[in-house]
Chain A
């Protein structure tokens, strides 16, 4: 590794960039790539690609199967990855469940809750039905909203939600009414993928726990970008995905409190999650295996562990500080653009590095097209948060997101590109 700051300090961005082969490619018109879409998916450093390749070239086998050396080594690699990810979160390895994505991890919990009705007395605390309430927020990514709507459809429970304030923060003014004796589960973002807002998860969780409700935090946009310690999180479950944190696609993580995972019924069933199978019925393994049916994505898990190594070597505190500086710069630079409205808070207080905006007279698709022409990759649309856009009176927006390899020059290029779009469409 070349890019390691070690300890607390500023990141050597040039050294980091040299670890990401894709940042060297040319895009439209032979221009340099300016990648401001890491909130959708991040790029991967050589170290992650090498780890995945090394698994396939030296230890490839189906983990937890096979009476042979490769099977043993593949299993060690897979379980070693689990331990590494647990360390990254200050968690216990037995509390780390591999899924295929953060989305699947949310679904795992939501389906386990509707499966609880027929899973025996130990699963009672997960059971929901008519009269019970499921609480979310209006700022959720669809992945942390639709599975809960569907849970309510299946069980007859009622979906309720916190609204958002004008600057995109979660409106907690009616928390005492929304969290009540009927609340069974509260699912909320740990950092908005649109506004960057970081809600007070621990505070909400404390209120939820007083009434015996479960709490799930969506960490898809937090775990990649700042230190997350599950023991201080307050929530019972945390979900995130590998591909947004320098790791491979195809693997995600559910962290859950051990005593909850132990009592929770399975979602996807099949091979390697069973204890005894008879024709009439089966019993299941303890967690995490209970939730990992099928041959696992071991190479991807190993890649994610390498991503944790990479991020820890940089220092997550330093990663967060770098992104905060870029976000502050972007908020300033964009606020100076005529006719531009930022969705979300205008300072970096409790706010991560997603900067979404609307431009008077130019649709986000058209902004994105001109930026793409300049080599600047952003996301346009509702970013899988349609209700949040509605609440903020935006049909769609353009979003820039930052990561370890982004520079201040790239932020300036974004502001300049937006002005070029305005010139092209004749709005200023």
Chain B
């Protein structure tokens, strides 16, 4: 089946045993994002260490209700970006967005994307791209809010 190109084993693995799931304290910002077409939702918290250009993602915790793609994407994302600087994580996020918008045509950089490269097959199914991007968009939004908060406190 062609869907097997989408449902890579690594995606199903993250879906069955999501990493870093659950909402944790303390946090600098929390957001809730939904996919209005299907009602999938993610509540996501970001905790930063240090401020401005030095900001490091100390934790990403989340509660996700949704399909295998959206749940696995949240798990892969959290696992990749926790411990990275915000700048590094943004670079991964941008690369991931490019991959997802490529309709399966992009030459993705595995060095940057790590496990997230498994989502390349999803980009061939336009209706599912939002699923894969849901938690990334939530993370970006939460991080922007957390940066403002930590700037104000610095």
**Chain B CB within 8 A of A121 CB:** no
In the complex, identify which listed stretch (B61-69, B99-107, B108-116) lies at the interface while the others stay far away: B61-69
With A381-B37, A396-B40 as contacts: A363 and B2 at CB distance below 8 Å: no
Bound-state Cα–Cα, A363 to B71, Å = 10
B40 contacts across to A, CB distance below 8 A: 365, 395-396
A residues at B contact (CB < 8 Å): 28-29, 363-366, 369-370, 372-373, 380-382, 386, 389, 395-396, 424-425
A-B contact list, 19 entries, CB within 8 Å = A28-B2, A363-B68, A365-B40, A366-B69, A369-B6, A370-B1, A373-B2, A373-B3, A381-B37, A381-B39, A382-B38, A386-B39, A389-B39, A395-B40, A396-B38, A396-B39, A424-B1, A424-B3, A425-B68
CA–CA, A382 and B37, complex, Å: 7
Q: Are B2 and A395 in contact (CB under 8 A)?
A: no
Contact indicator A365/B39 (Cβ below 8 Å): no
Closest to B125 in A: A369
Partner of A366, one of B1, B2, B68: B68
How many whole Å from B83's CB to the nearest CB in chain A? 29
Closest to B34 in A: A386
CB under 8 Å from chain A, chain B span 18-76 = 37-40, 65-69
Q: Out of B37, B39, B128, which one reaches A369, CB within 8 Å?
A: B128
Chain A residue with Cβ nearest B6: A369
Q: How far is the CA of A59 from the CA of B7 in the complex (A)?
A: 52
In-complex Cβ contact of A365 among B1, B12, B128 (8 A)? B128
Residues of chain B within 8 A of A365, CB atoms compared? 38, 40, 66-69, 128, 131
CB distance from A399 to the nearest CB of B (A): 12
Nearest Cβ on chain B to A359's Cβ, whole angstroms: 12
Which residues of chain B come closer than 8 Å to A386, judged between CB atoms? 39
Q: Which residue of A lies closest to B12 (CB)?
A: A425
Top 4 closest pairs, chain A to chain B, by CB: A381-B38, A365-B67, A363-B67, A382-B39
Contact with A along B121-149 (1 / 0, CB 8 A): 00001001001000000000000000000
A424-B38 contact given A29-B2, A365-B67, A373-B2, CB 8 Å threshold = no
The reply to whether A364 and B38 form a contact with Cβ atoms under 8 Å apart is: yes
The residue of chain A having its C-beta at the shortest distance from the C-beta of B131 within the complex is A365
Q: Given the complex of chains A and B, what is the CA–CA distance between A285 and B131 in angstroms?
A: 49
A363 touches B3 (CB 8 A): no
How many Å lie between the Cα of A372 and that of B125 in the bound state? 11
Given the contacts A29-B2, A373-B1, A424-B7, A366 and B67 also touching, CB distance less than 8 Å: yes
Contacts of B65 in A (CB 8 A): 395
A363 partner residues in chain B, CB cutoff 8 A: 66-68
In the complex, the chain B residue whose C-beta lies closest to that of A389 is B39
CB-CB under 8 A for A395 and B128, given A365-B67, A373-B3? no
Rounded to whole Å, the gap between the CB of A104 and the closest CB of chain B is 20
Bound Cα distance from A364 to B1, whole angstroms: 18
- Name the residue on B nearest A381 (C-beta): B38
A395 to B125, CA, bound (A): 22
Chain B residues lying within 8 Å of A364, measured Cβ to Cβ, are: 38, 67
Q: Closest A-chain residue to B66, C-beta based?
A: A363
Could you tell me the distance between the alpha carbons of A396 and B38 in the complex, rounded to whole angstroms? 7
Residue of A nearest to B39 (CB): A382
Query: How many Å lie between the Cα of A224 and that of B117 in the bound state?
Result: 45
When C-beta atoms are compared, the residue in chain B nearest to A362 turns out to be: B68
Other than the given A369-B125, A380-B38, 14 more pairs (CB < 8 A) read A28-B2, A29-B2, A363-B66, A363-B68, A365-B68, A366-B68, A366-B69, A369-B3, A369-B128, A370-B1, A372-B3, A373-B2, A381-B39, A424-B3
